[in-house]
Amino acid sequence: MIRTIVGAALLATASTAAAEPLMFINGRLFIPAKVNQVATEALLDSGAEATVVDPALAARAGLPEGTPQTMKGSGGEAQARIVEGVTVGALGLQLHPEAVVVLDMSDLSTRLIKRPTQAIVGRELFDAARLKIDIGRRQIAVVSRADAPAGAKLPLTTHAGIESVPVLANGTEVQAEFDLGNGSDVMISRDLAKKLKLRIIGKKSGGGIGGAIDRDLVRLDALDVAGKRFRNVMAAIDDQDSHNDMNIGTAILKNFRITTDFKRRAVWLDPVGKVQ
């Protein structure tokens, strides 16, 4: 999940397309993408408010210098550039974001993603079309809005630029950020951990932009998502000012066939197999 202040994307063309390969490595999702027609492999992140491009890829794609900006992340601050007039291609779509973020991704690649990564495709893609994501089969596709998706329909609610869905944490209804860019633990706000009287059981290193931080760990007896129950769920406490009640990533979402439609303000989660 990358939080920025860049505006939403504009869609050039959207139509139903054949499924494309979806890589699932170290808990992260990757898709083929292009930045100004330069091919790359991009991290797919529904929690990223904008597309992020490493300076090396920006140079190959001929991106202009842009406007300097300090980005605030969960681990501190980092220097970036905001660049306009960039075309991002993915899943057969040509996206024209208001701007992209040019940011040195070497630390994120090594420490967090654990794979050389020079681009993150964010919510512009999710805003542009209805997507069907099957992590188990390693497939992703743009699908028609005329067809009824399988699974439970969950409404989307926006909080600090990130979309969230209703879930039950130890029987209490809360809002959980729908974050396909989170490849590690469920995250929970400290306020909710206190409300649920959860005991701190350890620490774990985490953090995104700005560097590593240590987070307190707690354990949920039960987490119910789209009617599917997960037991003994480890959760890291999120102390960011912009936190929501909770954040769920691929550790939970890999157990569903997923259909997203941010424009229609919903996602559908269709359970597959046993809880992993």
| Distance between CA atoms of residues 40 and 45, nearest Å | 15
Contact 196/146 with Cβ under 8 angstroms? Answer: no
pLDDT bin (cut points 50, 70, 90) of residue 101 is: very high
Given this model, what pLDDT does residue 11 score?
A: 44
- Which alpha helices (H) appear in the chain, and where do they start and end? 55-60, 106-107, 123-128, 190-195, 250-253
Which stretch of 75-79, 99-103, 105-109, 210-214 has the lowest confidence by average pLDDT? 210-214
Helix (H, G, I), strand (E, B) or coil at 275: coil
Q: Among residues of the chain, what percentage have pLDDT more than 70?
A: 88
Both tokens of 92, joined, read 């057969």
Given this model, what pLDDT does residue 121 score?
A: 97
What are the C-alpha distances in Å from 166 to residues 90, 173, 271?
Answer: 29, 7, 16
Q: What is the mean pLDDT of the chain?
A: 90
pLDDT bin (cut points 50, 70, 90) of residue 65 is: very high
pLDDT bin (cut points 50, 70, 90) of residue 13 is: very low
| Distance between CA atoms of residues 61 and 42, nearest Å | 14
Both tokens of 220, joined, read 């949920």
Tell me the average pLDDT across 82-95. 97
pLDDT bin (cut points 50, 70, 90) of residue 276 is: very low
pLDDT bin (cut points 50, 70, 90) of residue 273 is: confident
Given this model, what pLDDT does residue 62 score?
A: 97
pLDDT bin (cut points 50, 70, 90) of residue 74 is: low
Instruction: Evaluate if residue 172 carries a pLDDT over 60.
Output: yes
Domains of the chain from N-terminus onward:
9-142 (2.40.70.10), 152-271 (2.40.70.10)
Given this model, what pLDDT does residue 150 score?
A: 96
Measure the CA dihedral 60/66/67/70, to 10°.
Answer: -20
Instruction: Evaluate if residue 16 carries a pLDDT over 70.
Output: no
Instruction: Evaluate if residue 12 carries a pLDDT over 90.
Output: no
Given this model, what pLDDT does residue 192 score?
A: 96
Instruction: Evaluate if residue 57 carries a pLDDT over 70.
Output: yes
Given this model, what pLDDT does residue 211 score?
A: 61
Instruction: Evaluate if residue 26 carries a pLDDT over 70.
Output: yes
